[in-house]
Amino acid sequence: MDLRTLLSEITGQNLQIGFPYVAERIFMVLTFVILISIGVFTAFLIRKNRLTNRIKVILLISVLLYNGILFGGVPNVFQAMQLFFSSLISNQNPLLPLMMFLIFLGLTLVFSRIFCGFICPMGILQELASMVRFKTNFENYRKGKKRKNYIRWGFFILYLMLTIIWGFQATVFLNPFNGFQFFNYTTNIMLIFAGIFMIGIFITSFFVYRPFCRYFCPFGALACEVSKFSLIKFRRTSNCISCGLCEKICPTQEAFRDSNKGECYLCNRCAIMCSESHLIDNNLLNQINSQISAIGIREFGIQKLIFSKEGFLEKIIKKLIHSFIINGYSRYYKELVDSFKGNHKFSIDYIQSIIERLKKILPNEVKKINWNEIEQWKKQNEQKLKNREKDMGKNRLLYGFNKEI
């Protein structure tokens, strides 16, 4: 007895539960085409660096309303895997669930976790929750990575055993996708349990990033391994200066240079941080470091290099300000001033190291900095700084085929 028959006998209703049990095959094919098109379109936006937070939220909510609320949680890859594995010990035809399963794994192989990030209704539900209250647990994530893998694969083995030994019905209550059916059948007891599981995952997602995807989803476990070999994924380019901002903002800590991106859900936080909040001009900072090194080597010949130590320091500060882009500009300027005054450290280690070198080489001059004059210069050059915005913060991250550096 399958789930449809079981629920129909209990409720007296002719229920059609999840994918691939869409009532009309034409709608099933149409849904497939629409969802895959959404995934490709999202990949295009990420590739062109046009996926802002506003567009992302609109896109996620639209897809959730379509495949979550309207169609009751499709595509239900959890159920597709249930049907496939249970068919191994029954006379059911495994072709349809296997096709859906392989299509979305194939999508993952090409575009990385685009399915989990922007097509899967459970993935979307968790992502929206994480955007409300989000904080990366940078220090403890790597320590718990091995423990997370034990939980994930332990649950996968348990789920596989239950499905093969007891059949499809044994894992119905473990499938939160069925919770979306609760909107259509509010009095069904079996769907209520799935709905409670789904709500629990949603609430947990405010505090833990994608708990279902990363710990319990059997498709997510396989997609994680496939995604390591994806053709298109986030990669660093030669313009990257390893400032560490993307690593700090990444909720799964997959932004490290040596990461295989298996757990990258294309949330785009790293790209937004790099293109909108990134404040480092690579060429300028290289120039600054070279000039500071020259001063350190030729301390007694400094008069030959520049007019005065004060003039040199002023030029360095102005170059640092030039390295800021207009997004968050005022905040970073104030942070620069406070860092020179010793009130606190600059949030970017690379710039903080420059400040510390200047304090060591030119301690007296740093104390005599005329911040009022620099503030006036900043106001006079505001438009020039704005014109630099378009050219900065680009191409440090690439969602594409290019080789990682």
Domain match, 176 and 284 both: no
| Residue after which a domain boundary falls, among 231, 265, 293 | 231
- Mean of the pLDDT values across residues 2-31? 51
Q: How far apart are alpha carbons 76 and 94 in whole angstroms?
A: 15
Q: In terms of C-beta density within 10 A (0-12 exposed, 13-18 middle, 19 or more buried), how is residue 294 classed?
A: middle
Domain check: are 198 and 309 in the same one? no
**Does one domain contain both 207 and 109?**
yes
- Taking only the tens place, the pLDDT of each residue in 378-395 is 888 777 666 655 444 445
11: which DSSP letter? H
Q: Are residues 80 and 193 in the same domain?
A: yes
Tell me what the pLDDT averaged over the chain comes to: 77
Question: Which residue pairs, CB below 8 angstroms and at least 24 apart, start in 354-362?
Answer: 354/285, 354/288, 354/289, 354/292, 354/316, 354/320, 357/292, 357/296, 358/292, 358/313, 358/316, 361/292, 361/295, 361/296, 361/299, 362/295, 362/309, 362/312, 362/313
Residue 330: pLDDT band with limits 50, 70, 90: low
Q: What is the pLDDT of residues 72-109, one digit of tens each?
A: 888 888 888 877 877 777 777 778 778 888 889 999 99
Q: Which pLDDT tens digit goes with each residue over 100-136?
A: 888 899 999 999 999 999 999 999 999 999 998 666 6
Q: Which of 188, 205, 231 is the last residue of a domain?
A: 231
Tell me, yes or no, whether 26 and 77 share the same domain. yes
Range of the domain at 163: 3-231
Together in a domain, 176 and 258: no
Question: Based on the domain organization, do 345 and 396 belong to the same domain?
Answer: yes
Out of 174, 204, 231, pick the residue that ends a domain.
Answer: 231
Place of tokens 């800590």: 253
* Count of domains observed in the chain: 2
Q: What mean pLDDT is predicted for residues 257-276?
A: 84
pLDDT for residue 290 is more than 50: yes
Same domain, residue pair 164 and 288: no
Tens digits of residue pLDDT in 212-244: 999 999 999 999 999 999 999 988 877 676 767
227 SS3 class: helix
Query: What pLDDT, on a 0 to 100 scale, did the predictor assign at position 111?
Result: 93
Same domain, 150 and 248: no
> Are residues 217 and 79 in contact, defined by beta-carbon separation less than 8 angstroms?
no
Please compute the mean of the pLDDT values over residues 183-198 and round it to a whole number: 78
